[in-house]
Structure 1
């Protein structure tokens, strides 16, 4: 089931088109919105929330129509923006509770929930400190807390690890995984950092130049490369490479006695040509496994596709 559906969405800032005829269905679970800086990721999130009016197309978020049901969308969606959003003079409890009230919560309920999510995000001991005195890592956590306070069904996280040190990044990603996998909240993580997406997300949408380039499950995208096979030989052999070349294979990379070979044409059986070439070259095959493609390779292929 799709939690977000966008159809032929076009968003422009003057003459600059940030999203062009953009269509996607975002499934349940933790989904990564991956793309280089300026690809249109933040524009997509803000349009979904009703902050930006599209020039064409449309869609829905959890059944609520984009551009028409803005208030209803914001009551069921939590948004963690990339930029700081604290209000000067407010402590963490006041700020998060106020965010809850803006989402339609009663004041007492918002205050109770504020304490709960502040504790959950690890800021319990600093809850009465003014937010402007927080470190960068603490400000990221308080942005997450205000996005969670009203119990959203969908969480939009825009660069959640922005500015964090390695430990802070690790802890933030652990929170994102827990929210998605243990709290039952759908999460859309907007990032240009491949490791963050690989660690937290079940599937990914790749966007570049305002257009959707690729979508699929993370395991699938970094899974088997249908034309590649990794071969370990007992010893290095130029004769083996020549024999593989006769069979339409080229050398992609070599490390020690491991060789990644890629077929020029899709083929169902990659092992048979390897053993035939090894027999011709008089070498022993010690290891054989399908060539694996990294998410980075899939990402770069998608970005460079057009």
Structure 2
């Protein structure tokens, strides 16, 4: 059974359309909802929780209609908000127990569940300290704990890695993954950081300007391409090892290019792999030239390419989210979600997205 389903779901404000005929089905597991700030992610979560009515269309969570079953949905769903909403003068234990009691747990069960949940998120030793003295990472863990304390079937996590350093982000992503693998609780996690979702999620939903760009498994997004990237070192005999490799491969009928789209541009050779024989040929050529082979790997697709493809298609038709290509250029729109339509983002934020 799908944990979330929407059909032609739209949400319009006077000056902006936050969601535009969004239709998708999400099954159990960890699902990433990715898009720029103002893409409609937070608006969608509010609708799915039954906190904001849709303008048109339908949505169901755990088989319940969001238009009529909001309270029943919230009994079975946990929610971790994006922004800091924690009282500074109470401990994590006090706060999470309070949230457990609000979810309907009796006092003893609330205390027991709180202790277990804080242990799971790594705050057990610090559970009696006032939240005001917590680091950003610890506060994010408190927010995650209160979303889990009533043992929901599904949790919505809105930008859970906001404000965290790389180590903190990795720790949080590990916790999110274990929410499903250890406890069987499905997760919908929003983020504008594409790499996070590629590493963490089973399924990814990409939205831009309130519209669905693509919804598929993460493996489909990141499948291997036929492009082989080869990095070599220079030698005294070949001070430009990359050029030497390209020339040698070209003489064998293999068309190459420099890796301008990859880190280390100018030191990487790209070519089309036409089977295992290509790997053997490249290895032999590198050995014959006396070069050092740093790496040889197939490129993989990335989620960011979805935004690039959508932007390219919009420009080809002269339209991007209802504006002409010229208007898009003047607005500074780019082929990345973060740079997409700043004015639209600001308007959406003012309306609560």
Q: Does residue 1:253 correspond to 2:252, yes or no? A: no
Partner SS for 2:3: strand
Rounded Cα–Cα distance in structure 1 between residues aligned with 2:206 and 2:17: 18
Q: Which runs of 5+ in 1 are unaligned?
A: 262-269
Judge conservation of contact 1:206–1:302 (CA < 8 Å) in 2.
Answer: no
Summarize the alignment of residues 133-148 of structure 1 with structure 2, pairs less than 5 Å apart: 133-148=133-148
**CA shift at 1:224, angstroms?**
3.1
Q: Does residue 1:28 correspond to 2:36, yes or no? A: no
Rounded Cα–Cα distance in structure 2 between residues aligned with 1:152 and 1:8: 27
Aligned residues: 285
Q: CA RMSD in A?
A: 3.0
Partner SS for 2:246: coil
**CA shift at 1:51, angstroms?**
1.3
**CA shift at 1:85, angstroms?**
1.9
Cα deviation, 1:63-95, whole Å, max 9, x if unaligned, reads 111121111111111110101122354321121
Q: 2:217 is matched with which residue?
A: 217
Structure 1 residues 231, 77: closer, same or farther in 2, change over 3 A?
Answer: closer
Q: 2:69 is matched with which residue?
A: 69
Partner SS for 1:271: coil
Which of 232, 245, 252 matches 1:235? 245
**CA shift at 1:13, angstroms?**
2.6
**CA shift at 1:26, angstroms?**
1.1
**CA shift at 1:212, angstroms?**
0.6
Judge conservation of contact 1:82–1:160 (CA < 8 Å) in 2.
Answer: yes
Judge conservation of contact 1:236–1:257 (CA < 8 Å) in 2.
Answer: no
Q: 1:56 is matched with which residue?
A: 56
Judge conservation of contact 2:258–2:268 (CA < 8 Å) in 1.
Answer: no
Rounded Cα–Cα distance in structure 1 between residues aligned with 2:2 and 2:124: 35
| TM-score between both structures, scaled by the size of structure 1 | 0.82
Rounded Cα–Cα distance in structure 1 between residues aligned with 2:102 and 2:311: 38
Judge conservation of contact 2:2–2:63 (CA < 8 Å) in 1.
Answer: no
| TM-score between both structures, scaled by the size of structure 2 | 0.72
Q: Does residue 1:96 correspond to 2:99, yes or no? A: no
**CA shift at 1:105, angstroms?**
1.9
Structure 1 residues 257, 170: closer, same or farther in 2, change over 3 A?
Answer: closer
Judge conservation of contact 2:227–2:271 (CA < 8 Å) in 1.
Answer: yes
Cα deviation, 1:94-147, whole Å, max 9, x if unaligned, reads 211121122222232122211211121111122222223322111100000000
Rounded Cα–Cα distance in structure 2 between residues aligned with 1:55 and 1:295: 29
Q: Does residue 1:114 correspond to 2:114, yes or no? A: yes
Cα deviation, 1:223-270, whole Å, max 9, x if unaligned, reads 133xx432769832299399677xxxx847376573234xxxxxxxx7
